[in-house]
Amino acid sequence: MKNSSRLQFWFFSLSLVSLRCADVAVTYVVTPDLRWEINPLVSVAGLGWLALMVANVLGVALVVTLLYYSSTRPQSQHSLSPGYSLREFISHYLYGDPHSFRKIYYVVPHNRIAIVHYAAYVFVRVLTVWSLVVVVHNIFIWRSDSFRTVMANASLWLVVYGLLVLLVPVYSLRFFSSLYRAYRAGA
């Protein structure tokens, strides 16, 4: 593992673990009985602390494992013709064919290493940013009765989960754009 990969691995791993622990701690302070918890495991499925803890541990372990694997395995290098558009590049990167972009929606890519690198890049960043937002949100819930009331009455908690969904395409585009820039620079 190169020093930059090692540093990135430790930075994101420790950030994610710290933020998830902070989320659990603040959640416990704010609502030890989970009555204010908006996590679907609690609010929809009616599960308790054990389910939250298991989900956190398994989710973080999966993301850190993907990040470690991605950090220790080089990106697969394709011999690409110069002049691909971003769409053609993504298609070739995932499927080995510049004209298979539509498959993204319904076919698992052939390039398994690419999936790991993509998932590691996107998942760790999405969960780290989202966890920071959740911790700040929970602190406001804890410290401000008016914020808690507005969040509950206006169903603004949906924005917190909407952000999670929005961050995926943002970081996906960043991942593929950085690979595409490297491809263009080498072409």
pLDDT in tens, 37-46: 878 888 788 8
Half-sphere exposure of 1 (CA within 13 A, CB side): 14
Q: Are 67 and 17 spatial neighbours (Cβ–Cβ below 8 Å)?
A: no
pTM: 0.86
- Please name which of 157, 171, 184 lies closest in space to residue 30, comparing C-alpha atoms: 157
Q: Are 142 and 26 spatial neighbours (Cβ–Cβ below 8 Å)?
A: yes
Distance CA 85, CA 179 (A): 12
pLDDT in tens, 34-93: 887 878 888 788 888 999 999 999 999 999 999 999 988 877 666 677 889 999 999 888
